Amino acid sequence: IAKLYRIETQIQALSLEERLYFRRTHSRPQLGLFKQWLDKSVLQVSKESPLGKAIHYSLNQWSKLSCY
């Protein structure tokens, strides 16, 4: 998530078209890596732990997050 915020900070001054391109080329791959990590980690972390709750929340909200 921090990497996505850094990308957004870098592109604030760009035009709408440039931001869209930058998101497609930089943010989308980061989201893909994050999803892979979530899918792998969900099986390894207790659902009741704080990290487990965050992982499950992220996976449950994935359709909304991936619209970004």
**For the whole model, what pTM was predicted?**
0.82
Residue 11's identity, in one-letter code, is I
Whether pLDDT at 26 is above 90: yes
The rounded percent of the chain whose pLDDT value lies above 90 is 93
Residue 40 pLDDT greater than 90, yes or no: yes
Contacts (Cβ under 8 Å, ≥6 apart) of 60:
none
Give the count of alpha carbons within 13 A of 2, CB side only: 0
Cα–Cα distance, 43 to 25 (Å, whole number): 29
pLDDT level of residue 1 (50, 70, 90 thresholds): confident
- Residue 55: closest CA among 30, 34, 27: 34
Instruction: Round to whole Å and give the CA distance between 15 and 58.
Output: 29
